Amino acid sequence: MYMENALENFEISISSATCLKSNNTIFSNINYILTSGELLLVMGPNGCGKTTFIKSICGIQKLEEGAIKLNNVDISHGDSQHLGNFLYIGHKNSLNDSLTVFENLEYLCALDRSIQNDIKSEIKRTLSFFGIENYKNYLVSKLSEGNKKKTSLTRLLLTNKKVWLLDEPLSYLDDNGAKQVLKLLNNHLKVGGIIIASSHIDFSASIDNSKVFYMDNSAWSKYYFIKNSKIIFVI
C-alpha cells in the first residue's frame, strides 16, 4: 500500500549524461539535480528522446557517457540495491494479455518487495480508486486502452517506491482518470517522493513544485519552474 508518511530525503543527480542508439545521439551532456518533493516533466516532439531519457534514469537504457547518481551512489551501471527505490511504468502496455486484471496485479505485487500488506485487499482497494473494480476478472486483452492504463497505474497505490518514472502517465485516460493520477502525483510529492515523467501533455499547472524541460535536438532547449501554480522562472 502506498504510504502517506514522509519518505527519506533523496537526491538524483544527472551529470554529462549522453546516450547513443545505432550511433545516433539521442541526448547529450544533460546535467540536472532533482530533490525530494520535486517533479521533472520532460516534453518535446515524438522521437526527441523523452522515453529513452526516462529509461536511462533506472538503467534500462545505458549511457554512453556521464553518470546518474542516487544520493551520491552511481546507479548508471545497474546497481540493483539502489534501483529498488525506483518504479518505472512505461507508455506501452506491459501487462500480460492472457491473465486477468487481478492476476496481473497479484504477479506484479509478488515481485515488489516493498509491498507488505494483504495483497488481495489492497488490489481491490486500488481498483476501486480508479473505478475499474468491475473489471478485475477480465482478461487484459479484453480491456479498452484506457482501462489497461488504469490497471498499470494502480501500482502507484500499491508500492512504497520513492522514485516514480512515468512515461506518458495521462495517455488514454478520461478526465476522471487523469484527475485521479494527478492527485496521486501531488500526494507522492507532498511526502517527499521524486517523479520524473515524460508527456506530450503539459500537466505542470496541476502539480506544485514541478519543473518542465523541453527536449529538442538531443538537448534541453528551455525550461520553466512551477511554484504555487505560477510560472516563476523561464529560460
User: What pLDDT sits at residue 160?
Assistant: 85
Angle at the Cα of 226 (from 221 to 230), degrees rounded to 5?
120
Residue 229 — very low, low, confident or very high, per pLDDT cuts 50/70/90?
A: very low
Least confident of 99-113, 129-143, 157-171: 99-113
The string of pLDDT tens digits covering residues 21-63 is 888 888 888 888 999 999 999 988 888 888 999 999 988 889 9
pLDDT above 90: percentage of residues in the chain: 51
pLDDT value at 233 more than 50: no
Long-range contacts at 176-179 (CB < 8 A, ≥ 24 apart): 176/131, 177/130, 177/131, 177/146, 177/149, 177/150, 178/203
Looking at per-residue pLDDT, the higher value among 115 and 125 belongs to 125
User: What pLDDT sits at residue 118?
Assistant: 79
User: Mind listing the domains of the chain with CATH numbers?
Assistant: 11-93+161-234 (3.40.50.300)
Question: How many angstroms separate the CA atoms of 77 and 80, rounded?
Answer: 9
User: What pLDDT sits at residue 226?
Assistant: 45
For 90-107, what is the mean pLDDT? 91
Long-range contacts at 149-154 (CB < 8 A, ≥ 24 apart): 149/93, 149/173, 149/177, 150/177, 151/95, 151/101, 151/104, 151/105, 151/127, 152/89, 152/93, 152/94, 152/95, 153/89, 153/181, 153/184, 154/105, 154/123, 154/126, 154/127, 154/129, 154/130
The string of pLDDT tens digits covering residues 157-212 is 988 889 999 999 999 999 999 999 999 999 999 999 999 999 988 898 888 788 88
